[in-house]
Structure 1
């Protein structure tokens, strides 16, 4: 009986610690996504590029492999120049963190884009694939699942 009780307590605390670790990781990844989004808003292409490990993948209507930082900056300049005319900023609405392995995870994010009048102009969903490299979580792939202009 003591063994069963001990094992139940051990399972409870292990689950509690894992849950707290997962919440901390989730918070870290969401903050990184928000920094990435803010860099996009401010056209800070160097900062955007620092969020990635190379080669990286953009999996949109025409998937591309981005070989290095220079190519990433060029790609984001093109994307940013062709975004909605009155785009101002983006916010993450909902998210789900999917731990694949200790070194690989996916942020399934639903987001909205807003104009200068703070009106929503687009809702979208993206899958952001992160890989742990030298202790840092970096983007490996960005997949646009859906975008709906409003």
Structure 2
């Protein structure tokens, strides 16, 4: 188990499971509240849980030692996360979770394209086939018919 818990795949699969629960819980939670306020409440809870984890595990480090470039990209990531969450909760408020989540997961396709375009990552033909299938699958699941 320890070797498995040290692998990226283990954590990615846990992330997928929690993301699925997030969609279901959020869809129920946003039923009788404005989606932006729901996002704020969720964000406060996430920040509190993360602050507790960092404190308990002593993973903090002096903020002055963190490079400016790191702050810049974490800030940009934070803005993108906030925008994503606001859009996601609005979509859940308006649509079915079973259709919203697959379209949201088109981010997988975009990450692959952006990773190649901006980070110099390389994908094989088989990897690209998978990306195309993910995109097609997301669109098929999201289709109401």
The TM-score normalised by the length of structure 2 is: 0.30
Relative to total residues, which structure has the larger helix share, 1 or 2?
2
Relative to total residues, which structure has the larger strand share, 1 or 2?
1
The TM-score normalised by the length of structure 1 is: 0.30
Higher alpha-carbon Rg? 1
